[in-house]
Amino acid sequence: MSIRLGDLAPDFTAETTEGKINFHQWLGNSWGVLFSHPADFTPVCTTELGSVARLKPEFEKRNVKVIAISADPLDSHKKWIGDINETQNTTVNYPLIADPEFKVANLYGMVHPNIDKFTVRSVFIIGPDKKVKLMITYPASTGRNFNEILRVIDSLQLTANYSVATPSDWKQGEDVIITAAVKDEDIPAKFPKGHKRIKPYLRTTPQPNL
């Protein structure tokens, strides 16, 4: 199955380390981050799951639920969590989906077509409307940057509520771009903090929700 940005995230029921869930029901009105792993007891992924555990308060501040998935069974997940907690000096505090039959992996196109029983290392950000807002796939050798995932979420949440876009390397508190749909004459009412007109197509304003 091929998923594109803006598609409805496939719903599913699955066993996790925190019990059985229905994905859409579990998300509720929250944003979601679903990230996949090729297998348990893999070195790069061990560091990633520890990183997400440490960053969970940051995700919660943004009304984001995080959930991981691997094709290994539940017993394996639980043993792996012990290793993660020990080696990463943290406590895994979010669910891991057990997907031994690749049902969820196939729904989200996570199975590598040329390698038997190998799920790619993907990240999906899903909005409260249950639609896919972002997809990133990483090679096995490169650990994911979850601070970047948080930065993207900040941008997605901001641009969902205001007629703005975020420039390259933007971070919370920095100026944003006024979208082309906003006419010059409407800017003062929409953006009372003021704006800069760098080019007719490039107009910036202070972040409007601060």
Q: Which of 71, 121, 76 is nearest to 101 (CA)?
A: 71
Q: Which of 135, 146, 16 is nearest to 68 (CA)?
A: 16
Q: In what order do the strands lie in the sheet with 202-205?
A: 164-165, 176-178, 202-205, 196-199
Asked if 127 contacts 145 with a C-beta cutoff of 8 angstroms, the reply is no
List Cα–Cα distances, 34 to 23, 43, 161, 198, in angstroms: 10, 19, 23, 38
In the residue annotation, 109 being an active-site residue is answered as no
Identify the DSSP state of 9.
P
Give the DSSP H/E element, type plus range, for residue 87. helix 74-88
Q: Count CB-CB contacts under 10 A for residue 150.
A: 18
Cα–Cα dist 115/64, whole Å? 32
Cα–Cα dist 55/57, whole Å? 6
Catalytic residue selected from 27, 33, 34, 45 = 45
Any idea which residues carry the catalytic annotation?
Answer: 45
